[in-house]
């Protein structure tokens, strides 16, 4: 592949990536109006009802903000990032009350300053994700992703099942470090010539196309920068005083990621086994430029520093500045590239962290936990409910929005239960974040699903029956085995 051809293809991939983050199908006008009208009305009713009881004024206001955010995120009546900005704005007015207006601010204690509310926009987790975005953008721009994927796929040969395994493992690897959407677009581009070499009725076509989005979604669990729910969970834990390092996260998530990927590969080969005798699949070839090799070197150094933070002492967010500084100084990352970053994702993450902070500041999280039914002294049932709720809700709305809503409740429930409850805050937050990446039952559940479904190679039923098997196994492993793994690595008591 020539350098010019690589850049041209990269531009196509980047354009597709940016448009693919929108919902797969336009929302019905009735659903939009339900969000624009129903959510504010319901929020005001909740504020009025709680305000008449023994709930402090600040908790009543925060409950209204939470209900409003939930309604708007579920219906997507507003863009997801717009709802996040609304959450931050309402907290500034209703909780911080910088104007000193009567009826607003805290009823019990001193209201937080507006600076405390705005501090979420400078959260270290956002800087960490920003560095990941810069790293991924540079890799796509210089063709590193396509060149490396072609090289890595070559050892798997041409036998269909082995090619599918290689395709999924490479997708898994890339989705741990860059956008799942961009990874899906890139890997499906590699699949296209393989599909052209197969007869139209070959069942294995479905396996090849389905394997990519499933591997991308599963890979989203692997690192803190792999998906927004992971970043939101880390932000909540940091504010609650719990440190989970980059390597700590991977020690818990990567074994689960690999196991689920292999199980998904096995299911796909059983459901859609090749029927064409002697079928063989070829590979594309690509080469790296000098700038591409520089990106590889910076990527390697950054990842090594992320994985060794406990030895050198540099926080992951500080390390994330390395690719930004190097790529901007060398001209690899330009002003145009900066404008094309996924800023809406950063704002969405900030809104989720702000929502959790508001729940903690007002005490609404503790009040909400007191309304939950008792779990009989065991946090296992509570964790199972949180994981299943995240997977179900995330299948019909943004998994980041689902994590934004459920993470503060789960974290507070673990804190309130204490050690006797058998559920630590770290286990609750990490489990919910991992479950969010597994919300992939429908084509509209995630952008990778929607992109793959648009190829027209499989039906919704094909996707759902594989996703339900994988999701069911994952839920059992997260709930039953997550605590064991975290205790083994010393993340929980």
pLDDT at 187: 87
| Rounded-to-integer distance, Cα 434 and Cα 227, Å | 9
Please check whether residue 465 lies inside any domain of the structure. Answer: yes
pTM score of the predicted model = 0.83
Mean pLDDT of 449-457: 90
- Report the b/e string of 160-182 with b at 16+ CB within 10 A: bbebbbbbbbbbbbbbbbbbbbb
pLDDT at 43: 94
* Region for residue 123 given its phi and psi (left: phi exceeds 0; alpha: psi -120 to 50; beta: otherwise): beta
Mean pLDDT of 231-251: 90
Please check whether residue 64 lies inside any domain of the structure. Answer: no
Residue 150's pLDDT band, with cuts at 50, 70 and 90, is confident
pLDDT at 283: 62
Of the spans 151-155, 194-198, 449-453, which averages the highest pLDDT? 449-453
Residue 27's pLDDT band, with cuts at 50, 70 and 90, is low
Mean pLDDT of 375-385: 74
Mean pLDDT of 445-454: 89
pLDDT at 9: 38
Please check whether residue 407 lies inside any domain of the structure. Answer: yes
Give pLDDT tens digits for 272-295. 998 875 566 666 666 788 999 999
pLDDT at 419: 65
Residue 16's pLDDT band, with cuts at 50, 70 and 90, is very low
Mean pLDDT of 373-391: 78
Please check whether residue 71 lies inside any domain of the structure. Answer: no
pLDDT at 168: 95
pLDDT at 140: 85
Q: Between 29 and 386, where is the model more confident?
A: 386
* % of the chain residues with pLDDT over 90: 49
State both tokens at 66.
């939470």
- The parent domain of residue 273 ranges over 120-493
Q: Is the pLDDT of residue 94 over 90?
A: yes
Please check whether residue 487 lies inside any domain of the structure. Answer: yes
Mean pLDDT of 400-420: 81
pLDDT at 25: 45
How would you class 254 by CB atoms within 10 Å of its CB: exposed for 0-12, middle for 13-18, buried for 19 or more? middle
Q: Between 12 and 281, where is the model more confident?
A: 281
Mean pLDDT of 154-179: 90
Q: Is the dihedral of CA 357, 487, 302, 213 positive or negative?
A: negative
Give pLDDT tens digits for 434-443. 999 999 998 8
Mean pLDDT of 230-236: 90
Alpha-carbon distances of 465 from 213, 368, 392, rounded to whole Å: 14, 35, 15
Please check whether residue 87 lies inside any domain of the structure. Answer: no
Q: How many domains does the chain have?
A: 1
- Residue 336: Cβ within 10 Å count: 7
Alpha-carbon distances of 373 from 255, 368, 378, 379, 449, rounded to whole Å: 33, 11, 12, 12, 35
pLDDT at 10: 38
Mean pLDDT of 50-55: 84
Estimate to the nearest angstrom the gap between the alpha carbon of 121 and the chain centroid. 18
Give pLDDT tens digits for 313-344. 899 999 999 999 999 999 999 999 999 888 99
* % of the chain residues with pLDDT over 70: 90
Please check whether residue 148 lies inside any domain of the structure. Answer: yes
Q: Are 204 and 265 in contact (CB under 8 A)?
A: no
State both tokens at 271.
């459901």
pLDDT at 448: 92
- Report the b/e string of 97-112 with b at 16+ CB within 10 A: beeeeeebbbbeeebb
Give pLDDT tens digits for 295-315. 999 999 999 999 998 898 899
Please check whether residue 29 lies inside any domain of the structure. Answer: no
Q: Of how many residues is the chain composed?
A: 493
């Amino acid at each position: 592949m020539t350098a010019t051809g690589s850049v041209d293809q990269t531009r196509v991939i980047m354009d597709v990536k940016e448009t693919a983050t929108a919902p797969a199908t336009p929302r019905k006008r009735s659903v939009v109006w339900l969000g624009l009208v129903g959510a504010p009305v319901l929020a005001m009713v909740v504020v009025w009802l709680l305000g008449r009881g023994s709930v402090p004024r600040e908790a009543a206001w925060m409950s209204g903000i939470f209900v409003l955010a939930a309604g708007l995120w579920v219906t997507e009546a507003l863009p997801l990032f717009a709802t996040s900005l609304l959450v931050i704005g309402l907290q500034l007015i209703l909780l911080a009350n910088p104007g000193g207006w009567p009826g607003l601010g805290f009823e019990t204690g001193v209201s937080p300053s507006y600076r405390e509310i705005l501090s979420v926009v400078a959260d270290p987790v956002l800087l960490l994700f920003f560095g990941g975005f810069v790293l991924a953008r540079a890799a796509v721009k210089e063709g590193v992703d396509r060149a490396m994927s072609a090289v890595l796929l070559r050892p798997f040969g041409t036998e269909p099942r082995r090619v599918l395994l290689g395709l999924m493992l490479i997708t898994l690897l890339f989705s741990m470090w860059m956008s799942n959407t961009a990874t899906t677009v890139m890997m499906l581009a590699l699949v296209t010539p393989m599909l052209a070499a197969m007869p139209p009725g070959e069942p294995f076509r479905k396996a090849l196309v389905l394997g990519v989005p499933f591997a991308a979604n599963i890979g989203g669990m692997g690192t803190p920068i792999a998906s927004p729910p992971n970043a939101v969970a880390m932000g909540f834990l940091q504010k609650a005083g719990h440190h989970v390092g980059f390597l700590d996260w991977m020690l818990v998530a990567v074994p689960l990621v690999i196991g689920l990927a292999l199980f998904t590969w096995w299911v796909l080969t059983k459901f859609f086994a090749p029927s064409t005798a002697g079928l063989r699949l070829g590979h594309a070839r690509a080469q790296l430029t000098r700038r591409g090799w520089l990106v590889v070197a910076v990527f390697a150094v950054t990842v090594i520093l992320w994985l060794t933070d406990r030895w050198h002492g540099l926080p992951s967010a500080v390390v994330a500045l390395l690719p930004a500084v190097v790529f901007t100084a060398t001209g690899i990352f330009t002003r145009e590239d900066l404008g094309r970053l996924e800023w809406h994702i950063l704002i969405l993450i900030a809104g989720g962290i702000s929502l959790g902070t508001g729940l903690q500041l007002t005490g609404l999280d503790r009040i909400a936990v007191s309304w939950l039914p008792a779990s009989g002294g065991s946090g296992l049932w509570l964790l199972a409910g949180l994981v299943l709720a995240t997977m179900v809700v995330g299948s019909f709305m943004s998994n980041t929005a689902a994590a934004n809503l459920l993470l503060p409740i789960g974290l507070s429930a673990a804190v309130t239960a204490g050690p006797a409850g058998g559920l630590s805050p770290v286990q609750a937050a990490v489990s919910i974040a991992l479950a969010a990446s597994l919300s992939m039952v429908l084509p509209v559940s995630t952008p990778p699903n929607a992109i793959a479904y648009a190829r027209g190679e499989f039906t919704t039923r094909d996707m759902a029956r594989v996703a339900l098997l994988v999701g069911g196994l994952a839920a059992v492993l997260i709930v039953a085995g997550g605590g064991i793994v975290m205790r083994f690595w010393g993340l929980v008591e």
